[in-house]
Amino acid sequence: METATQHAVLLTEMLPVHYPQVKEIYEQGIATNNATLETKAPDWEEWDSKYMKSCRLVALAEDGSIAGWAALTAVSGRCVYRGVAENSVYIHPKYKGRGIGRLLLQQLVQESEQEGIWTLQAHMLKENEASVRLHEQCGFKIVGLRERFGQLHGQWRDTWLMEKRSKVVGV
């Protein structure tokens, strides 16, 4: 799967060789204190075991650097939830505001449906308004606010729970 876009990026499958740049982008998100409750990025082996083997994307800029990435994690190991996954989308600060997050998320939705996913969900910190807007643009709806959902640096943080139901899978 490779898609050229008007945004001068190429969407392609994430490979292990991409992980150093993916990790760097993730660490930049962590540093904002508004992208995740995580405080450090894992090594490749831990990351690889956490995320689904399919539905892993990178956006390659014209110079070959990674402008952003997207991937899915299963929400549960129980078979009844096999069609429910949570998405992650991170964009390098240099490429924010160019529509790359939307391209990645739209492609991730398509690939998730090919894998039989009927519900995508996203958690984002309440203050992460850009992520909320991105998900709304891609058809996600706010399900609710999860108050005091987790702590970051000793402070309780609220998260929005958003979801998108497939119009193709499970209908």
pLDDT digits (tens, 9 = 90+) for 78-103: 989 999 999 999 999 999 999 999 99
**Domain of residue 54, residue span:** 2-120
For the chain, where are the E strands, in sequence order? 2-4, 9-13, 56-61, 66-74, 84-91, 119-125, 141-152, 155-165
Q: What is residue 8's predicted lDDT score, i.e. its pLDDT?
A: 84
- Is 165 among the domain residues? no
> Which residues contact residue 67 at a Cβ distance below 8 angstroms, ignoring those fewer than 6 apart?
9, 59, 60, 61, 91, 92, 94, 95, 98, 100
Residue 6: what pLDDT? 47
**139 found inside a domain:** no
The number of domains in the chain is: 1
Q: Which residues of the chain have pLDDT under 70?
A: 1-7
Tell me the β-bridge partners of 57: 13, 70
- Does residue 147 lie within any of the structural domains? no
The three-state secondary structure class of 134 is helix
In-domain check, residue 62: yes
Cα–Cα distance for residue pair 86/74, rounded to 1 Å: 6
Q: Is residue 132 part of a domain?
A: no
Global pTM? 0.92
Are 66 and 60 within 8 A, CB to CB?
A: yes
**Is residue 63 exposed (0-12), middle (13-18) or buried (19+ Cβ within 10 Å)?**
exposed
* Structural domain includes residue 36: yes
pLDDT of residue 1: 52
Task: Quote the CA–CA distance of 94 and 99 in Å, as a whole number.
Answer: 12
Residue 88 lies in a domain: yes
Structural domain includes residue 170: no
Residues ≥6 apart with Cβ < 8 Å to 6: none
Q: What is the CATH number of the domain that holds 44?
A: 3.40.630.30
Q: Strand 84-91 to strand 119-125: parallel, antiparallel, or no bridges (unpaired)?
A: parallel
